[in-house]
Structure 1
């Protein structure tokens, strides 16, 4: 079975999805990532989906679940590299995106995570930052 690599860069875990996501792989990623957040005491998670051409309703929901679980474990999540077709599909399917902060690319995503982590340390809640930040 395929595994999606999870890299640790400081307090941030970087997940770059380079293969087509199928349901079993998404569930495996969720389990692996939550375990790594706890093990590494990560404060941020950056998920790069720039290689995904399509996202179905299950994968879209899984991204939301991953973000919610990460937040419950004390880590902010930013999804980067969303293609226009994926964004359109997510909106058309009516998938909830409340827990998912997005950015255009990895650089902007890291900036957003660092800002969110700094604000979290100061006691400013994630919701006050807005959920989407290009």
Structure 2
């Protein structure tokens, strides 16, 4: 399953629309890291609203994506984690350490805009 990646100004938005296999997650990682450089993006939002399961591999991969993108000079925000998913992640000890999260796409975009506005000053 391919994840659509849209360019919105200086940002990329990857909208996960269904459950992803491990291979799909790795393809998403590679494509996002590549596009950040090609498009000189300043931020990436990964919308996981459609995910109702987040296992340890998915959590590790999302965390790795965020760290790789930061090394490329952009910030990553993961948005849309469902309440049940958040509950399960906490129960299983799965963490997105060092990764910004937001309630939804709107909040994620607002955070990136605030972040980049404050960096310009």
Into which bin does the TM-score normalised by the smaller protein fall?
Answer: over 0.9
Give the structure-1-normalised TM-score: 0.85
Find the counterpart in structure 2 of residue 127 from structure 1. none
Q: How does 1:110-129 map to 2 (within 5 A)?
A: 110-122=109-121
Q: How does 1:44-83 map to 2 (within 5 A)?
A: 44-83=43-82
Once the two structures are superposed, residues 6-61 of structure 1 have per-residue CA deviations (whole angstroms, 9 ceiling, x without a partner) of: 11010000000002111000000000000000000000001110010111110011
Find the aligned partners of 1:73 and 1:96 in 2 and give their Cα distance. Answer: 22
User: Could you say what secondary structure the match of 2:46 adopts?
Assistant: strand
Give the structure-2-normalised TM-score: 0.93
- Runs of 4+ in structure 1 off by over 4 angstroms are none
**Long gaps (5+) in structure 2:** none
Please, what is the CA RMSD of the aligned residues? 1.2
**Long gaps (5+) in structure 1:** 123-134
Q: How many residues align?
A: 121
Note the C-alpha offset of 1:115.
1.3
Whether the 8 Å contact between 1:80 and 1:109 is mirrored in structure 2 is: yes
